[in-house]
Structure 1
Amino acid sequence: MFFRSMKVWIAATVLIVLVLVGSALGVHITSSTSFCLSCHEMRVHQQELALSPHAQDAKGNAIECVQCHIPSTNMVRMLSAKVWLGTKDLWVHATSGEAVALDRRAIQPEARRFMDDANCRACHEDLYRNAKNDGAISVYGRLAHQNYLGENGASRSGCVGCHRNIAHLPLEDRHYEANAAFASKLTFKEVR
């Protein structure tokens, strides 16, 4: 009887270890940019990112998809985001043809929902310096960041609530004056 229960405990322990190692390996593999770009639907995002100010971090390293799109401060939120977004992306990939036309306007709010401010603040520590860190931000930017930090009222908006289209610029948003410089770099056509 004792040996039988020991075998059950050993088998359960081995199974749990295999599940944990498999899960960790799965999270690691699906967190790579090469995995994200293995789907044709994401290639337009890669092209946009390559031309944006967010193509590289301050040290010159390429920005990975998960650095922005997957919450990094909370394991439960990170796993929830990976499962939810991954399942939706997999469904679109599996049920659409090669020339899928993503409704970018419809997917933007969902994509932004999982973008934590901590991910932005990992690179942008000083909110009163410009993105190149070589000068102060505008007066409007200073007031907005004071509001965000609770120094000038209080804001419920996160970073992506104000900073839209900073790494990806959908066709429908390219006509806005604030996006003109970025839009002028984009020479490829989106599939519609």
Structure 2
Amino acid sequence: MMKKIYLAFAGVFVLGFASYGAMNVVFDYTNEMEFCTSCHSMKINYEEYKETAHYNNASGVRATCSDCHVPKEFVPKVTAKIIAVKDIYHEFLGNFAVSSEIKNDPEAYLAHFEANRWRMANIVWDKMKANDSAECRTCHSYDAMDFDQQGRSAQRRHPRAIADGETCIDCHKGVAHHEPMEPLVSKAELPY
């Protein structure tokens, strides 16, 4: 009887270890830049990103999509991956945020993207604000900054941001993609 219990525990352990390993392989694959940018819906974001210092810089260090959009801690990472499954599902269906007619017309697709950019950006900004820009802080740390080596504006603003409890995204919203313009409020929406 004890031998069967030991075998059952060993089987559960091996199965759990194999599942964890398989999950990590899937997570690593879905964190690759090639995977993230293989979707049609990410082409605009990818082209914008290639214009930034996170892609092309003197040090040769390149932040990838997952560095900024996927948490490093296990539970938040799993949560982010589960939420992202809906995006992959809609991409495979061919209806990610747009109809196939718009998707196949570059001008209409760009117009649709721009019309929704503010809403989409705010979803990401709100998440980053809520987690104290955790993804940024895996590479950038106030403690490691040499304020004397920074530009005059950063020399003034970073110490003030620390004192005020601000997080990275409070000031750096357009750092990796074009910062969208806030939509104008129509006169019909004004409260007076």
Q: Return the alpha-carbon distance in structure 1 between the equivalents of residues 81 and 58 of structure 2.
A: 26
- Alignment size in residue pairs: 161
Q: Which has the higher helix share?
A: 2
Q: Return the alpha-carbon distance in structure 1 between the equivalents of residues 86 and 119 of structure 2.
A: 13
Give the AA of the match of 1:105: W
> Counterpart of 2:66?
66
How far 1:128 moved relative to its partner?
2.8
> Counterpart of 1:9?
9
The 5-angstrom pairing of residues 9-28 of structure 1 reads 9-28=9-28
RMSD: 2.7
Seq. identity, %: 22
Superposed structure 1 runs of 4+ greater than 4 Å apart: none
Please, which of 109, 125, 128 is the counterpart of residue 112 of structure 1? 125
Q: Which runs of 5+ in 1 are unaligned?
A: 175-192
Please, which of 108, 115, 126 is the counterpart of residue 145 of structure 2? 126
How far 1:109 moved relative to its partner?
1.9
CA contact 1:67–1:119 (8 Å) conserved in 2: yes
Name the stretch that deviates more: 3-12 or 110-119: 110-119
> Counterpart of 1:159?
168
> Counterpart of 1:184?
none
TM-score (structure 1 length as normaliser): 0.69
CA contact 2:54–2:61 (8 Å) conserved in 1: no
> CA 1:22–1:81 in structure 2 vs 1: closer, same or farther (change >3 Å)?
same
> Counterpart of 1:173?
181
Q: Which runs of 5+ in 2 are unaligned?
A: 104-108, 183-192
> Counterpart of 1:75?
74
